[in-house]
Amino acid sequence: LIIATKLGRRMIVKYLIRKNANINYQDEFGNTSLHYAIEIGDKYIIDILSFYHCDINLKNKEGKSPLDLAIETS
């Protein structure tokens, strides 16, 4: 899911979520798909992840949540 998000592969993101991929999985940096969707600015993927109730408060190893990143980049 994270790889598909980083590559902007919207339909694959949607497919993986529907197949029960862990929407809140954190990689070795503590980032989730939502962290990366915000980083690349893909509103469509952000909307998909939000629709399926991803956790906007999970912090990465830098102590930043997706919500923090969204505020920083707005």
Q: Domain of 29: which CATH number?
A: 1.25.40.20
Q: Per-residue pLDDT averaged across 16-41, rounded?
A: 98
Q: Per-residue pLDDT averaged across 4-21, rounded?
A: 98
Q: What is the pLDDT of residue 74?
A: 77
Give the whole-number percent of the chain exceeding pLDDT 70.
Answer: 100
Q: What's the total number of domains in the chain? A: 1
Residue 35: count of CB within 10 angstroms of its CB: 25
Domain with 17 in it: 2-73
**Residues 11, 31: Cα–Cα separation, whole Å:** 21
